[in-house]
């Protein structure tokens, strides 16, 4: 499967902001929906935000109004702008995308994850 690469994770203070970015490691034929998930320590992975090819977005209630997902279909990039960060946002954040390769196969692709830590 195609590998997704995340960037932008790190340490932020409560109330601060962080921007995550994700893109395929190589060229792809097409990308449908893209999403961000997160897994807090000792917890299950959860969907944070999703964006369709056309730009329709959905958010987890816990992040709605604070996080914004966006995409650039020319660059095949999906971003997650995180504002008003809280300690409970601390987690490993994963990018997911539904990708069609040049053999016309559709693949559910994931990144390796990027750590986000919110602490004073």
For 56-65, the pLDDT digits (tens) are: 999 999 999 9
d(CA 69, CA 91): 17
d(CA 50, CA 56): 8
pLDDT tens track for 92-113? 999 999 999 999 999 999 999 9
Give CA separation, 4 vs 19, 25, 68, 109, in Å. 16, 6, 19, 7
pLDDT of the residue at 2: 77
Instruction: Tell whether the model's pLDDT for residue 33 goes beyond 70.
Output: yes
d(CA 2, CA 83): 30
- Per-residue pLDDT, averaged over 72-98, amounts to 97
Long-range contacts made by residues 65-68, C-beta under 8 angstroms, separation at least 24? none
């Amino acid at each position: 499967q195609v590998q997704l690469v995340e960037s932008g994770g790190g340490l932020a203070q409560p109330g601060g902001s962080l921007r995550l970015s994700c893109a395929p490691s190589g060229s792809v034929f097409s990308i449908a929906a893209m999403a961000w998930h997160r897994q807090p320590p000792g917890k299950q992975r959860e969907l944070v935000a999703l964006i369709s090819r056309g730009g329709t977005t959905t958010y987890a209630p816990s992040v709605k109004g604070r996080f914004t997902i966006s995409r650039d279909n020319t660059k095949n990039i999906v971003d997650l702008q995180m504002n008003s960060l809280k300690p409970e946002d601390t987690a490993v954040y994963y990018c997911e995308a539904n990708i069609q390769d040049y053999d016309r196969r559709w693949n559910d692709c994931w990144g390796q994850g990027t750590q986000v830590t919110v602490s004073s």
